[in-house]
Amino acid sequence: MSVIDFHSHILPGIDDGSKSTEMTMTMLRMASEQGVDVMLATSHFYASRHRIEDFLARRRRSFERLMEVKKDFGPELRLGAEVAFFSGMSRADRLEDLTIEGSRVLLLEMPFTAWRRSDIREVEELVSKRNFQVILAHLERYMGMPENKKWIEELLEMPLYVQINAESLLGWRRRRPLLKMFERGQAHFLGSDCHRVESREPNLGKGRAVLEKKLGKAFINAMDDRGSRLLRIGGNTDV
């Protein structure tokens, strides 16, 4: 069972996250000091801007350059993407290439605009027809949008997973409803969504400390176990 950061922009020079190998190495050191074993490298993917093959090639180059320096240091990286929702994506070829490597897990970023019924239906098809294990990225960032409230409720009825940013557990005012979601099984995983060092930094440890203090060690262990099984980490393949 591993401590997993489910959301990061740790790969250098590929999106608005880390700018250099040096910055990434500092971020990896910070994550390592917080006990992170595995980081999902979820660089932004926008279908409107990127062709999948170009994205994959850039990601591969960034990863290989990093590995020349990183070697075995710090958390293990698993390549993936934070895939921005787009109309028609439930019928798009090659979405499989954007899952977290070794799994059918798709980290999906919903739009920061009013959602439509057809958008929600597409998410449902990604789950039920395409058999992706969808993780909704930082769902809490949409919870302040009243127009999407009913759609969020519909999403929470589906067999998918919800990732919350560690940062959102640090302010006492926002923390309460999120802790309730974790308790009810409506939120499942934590990510740092780290982009750099000075701000939006690797902070998974702080978020985990809040979860452990409020919900207990057994809860954290169960979360780590579920995450490890979902991503088939440590030879554990039962989901």
Q: In the complex, what is the shortest distance from the CB of residue 220 to Fe ion, in angstroms, rounded to a whole number?
A: 22
Given candidates 132, 193, 202, 207, which one binds Fe ion under the rule CB under 5 A? 193
Whose Cβ is closer to Fe ion: residue 124's or residue 193's?
193
Residue 106 per-residue DSSP state: E
Cβ proximity to Fe ion: between 16 and 147 the closer is 16
Please give the size of the binding site for Fe ion, defined by CB under 5 A.
2
Comparing CB distances to Fe ion, the nearer of 82 and 167 is 82
Q: How many residues does the chain have?
A: 239
Q: Does 167 bind Fe ion (CB under 5 A)?
A: no
71 phi/psi in degrees, rounded to 5 = 50, -125
- Residue 195 sits at the vertex; the CA angle it makes with 23 and 209, to the nearest 5 degrees, is 105
Q: Which tokens sit at 2? A: 């591993």
First to last CA, the chain: 13
Give the H/E segment covering residue 77: strand 76-84
Regarding 124 and contact with Fe ion (CB under 5 A), the answer is no
Distance, CA of 29 to CA of 27 (rounded, Å): 5
Toward Fe ion, which CB reaches closer, 119 or 193?
193
What is the closest distance, in whole angstroms, from the C-beta atom of residue 234 to Fe ion in the complex? Answer: 25
Least distance in Å: CB of 235 to Fe ion? 29
**Distance of closest approach, residue 221 Cβ to Fe ion, in angstroms:** 26
Q: Is 5 in the site for Fe ion (CB under 5 A)?
A: no
Which residue, 19 or 213, is less far from Fe ion as judged by CB?
19
Q: Which of residues 69-98 bind Fe ion (CB under 5 A)?
A: 82
Contact 111, 84 (CB under 8 A): yes
Which strand (E) or helix (H) includes residue 18? none
Q: Please give the Cα distance from 104 to 141 (Å, whole number).
A: 24
Q: Is 15 in the site for Fe ion (CB under 5 A)?
A: no
- Chain residues binding Fe ion by CB under 5 A are 82, 193
